[in-house]
Amino acid sequence: MMTITRAFEFCSGHRLYRPDWDEEHNRAVFGLCSNPAGHGHNYTLEVSVTGPLDHETGMIMNLRQLKEVVKEKVIADVDHKNLNVDVAWMKGAIPTTEVFADKIWQRIEAVLKKEAPHVVLEEIVLHETASNRVRKRRQS
């Protein structure tokens, strides 16, 4: 088995808050990220898949196919969008990096199971900033 990784970049805005909390409590929990005007990030998403090497093609998976899946199921929905308002599959969720990464995982994994069953989604790493990232791995 081998693992390949492809990286993607996109920009999104969001606001961390709970509508059932007052502004003071939101500020205490989420800090500046609860600003009513929101804020944005230049994200990097790394997507890794694992599978057997196909000796006929020399590939685990054509990276073009992985690119198409991620662009169609994730990037097209979130690039230059407000996660709280514009992204249907984030509605009702607090768009922390952890929640965002989990939702991204669900979308990619569902497509790969149908369209590329010879590979498994091994890991995603969502970089919110140069200092902050979330890593989600396949559970054995």
Residues assigned a catalytic role: 33, 80, 128
Structure tokens at 3: 């693992």
CB 16 within 8 A of CB 98: no
34 DSSP 8-state letter: G
Residue 88 φ then ψ, to 5°: -55, -40
Helix (H) or strand (E) holding 76: helix 76-78
Q: At which residue do the structure tokens 């990037």 appear?
A: 75
The structure tokens 């969001």 sit at: 14
The β-bridge partners of 6 are: 47
User: Rounded to whole angstroms, how far apart are CA atoms 82 and 52?
Assistant: 38
